[in-house]
Amino acid sequence: MNDFPYPLQPLRVPGGWSITVNTLFEVEPGPATMQWFSSALLLWGHCRDAGYCFNSHFEPEDDPAGEFVLEMFRVRYDRQGQAVKGSELFLGDFRTRSKTDFVARVERFMAHPAREQQA
């Protein structure tokens, strides 16, 4: 068991999605908590069946006035379930200073990723 001072941020993850990286804790960014937002990735998830993935981070690192960044992609996978090199299609990004809005946007992308291609 990890001995972190904060629990992980709850997320609603639909079936088929895998969260490979999760360093998003249930704490707001501020001068005393920036160490929890200095990771290269906060969340990284993918749905191989549907061919979508996302990553997220906080930028600039160590800046309490920074913002959450969500980057969304469409990716093709081969028969072995590996991403086809060069197949990534950037669908867009979402930036916000609100952790509540960020979490809601991550959940919305996982629930309806195809909507990003129309946005």
Which residues on neighbouring strands pair with residue 8, listed in sequence order? 25
Confidence category of residue 117, pLDDT binned at 50, 70, 90: low
Query: Which residue has tokens 């969340």?
Result: 43
Could you tell me the residue ranges of all domains in the chain?
18-118
- pLDDT, residue 4, reads 79
- pLDDT, residue 100, reads 96
Amino acid of residue 45: G
Euclidean distance between CA atoms 17 and 113, whole angstroms: 11
Query: Which residue has tokens 């867009």?
Result: 92
Once rounded to an integer, what is the mean pLDDT over residues 24-48?
89
Contact 54, 45 (CB under 8 A): yes
Once rounded to an integer, what is the mean pLDDT over residues 97-108?
96
- pLDDT, residue 119, reads 53
Confidence category of residue 43, pLDDT binned at 50, 70, 90: very high
Three-state DSSP state, 42:
coil
Q: Is the pLDDT of residue 118 over 70?
A: no
Instruction: Specify the pTM.
Output: 0.89
What are the structure tokens assigned to 116, written together?
């990003």
Once rounded to an integer, what is the mean pLDDT over residues 41-49?
93
Confidence category of residue 82, pLDDT binned at 50, 70, 90: confident
- pLDDT, residue 59, reads 93
